[in-house]
Structure 1
Amino acid sequence: MNPSLDHSDAVDTAVTRVDRETVIPVFEEELSVAKRVVETARVRVSRVTHTHQQLVDELLQQEKVEVEHVPIDRQVEVMPSIRQEGDVTIIPVVEEVLKVERHLVLKEEVHIRRIRKTERYQESVTLRRQEAQVTRLPIEQPAVPEAGAQSNAAEPRKEYR
């Protein structure tokens, strides 16, 4: 605090009279605050990659189709439709035969059977996992370079503040 504001007798001596008015000076204190950044610690963060083997054990499904031609050679009146009998799809194949009259002859049926097979598939694969490691470093005091000495600015630093 300003010592002149703490004493009442200081106000008495600063009072002046001007044309029957009394003038009393009024003072105000102001505060000025400054901040600066201070380094308190340093850390180094590095990344470590770990690998391990893991066995893949999966069942793979495979499907194949067997095609069988079944001769029929029977006359039919209308075109037969495609039909399903269990796991077999039957597709009729017809042919027109010329005679004095025309009629349909069922020449054959195509039987399609689906066969499913399951087999075990195994393979060893390499998996990677990364981990961050943080190391605290002591604060280094800045060294004053000697006259004519060159700094080692060509090497990049990997430390972060």
Structure 2
Amino acid sequence: MTEPPEKLSLIEERLVVDKRPVSDGRLRVSTTTTSVTELAEARLGGEDVEVTRVAVGREVAEAPGIRTEGDVTIVPVMEEILVVEKRLVLAEEIRIRRIATIEDVSIPVELRKQRATIERTEE
């Protein structure tokens, strides 16, 4: 007779990880604040601007650009003004000439005439 083959069993282990809260004790946290005054030092730079308006009142053919003379920047301010000019212009002439004419005319006209007759009567 033949012997049955031997059986081999395989075993496997599995790991399952789980967590649960556990209290080990309590903590109390408090803070204390202290103030310290220190001087902060810095050098600050700046610029002051001086604005001066200068009236010019001059007619120009075109607008001048912004220019710099020394440490002064000059910004032109333009304005348009309406100029109304009244001129006397001779538009035309009308010429009238008198020409004397003589014309003989015959027109039939109906005229009324009244005559008075005076008679004396004796009484």
TM-score under structure 2 length normalisation? 0.34
Say which structure is richer in helix. 1
TM-score under structure 1 length normalisation? 0.27
Say which structure is richer in strand. 1
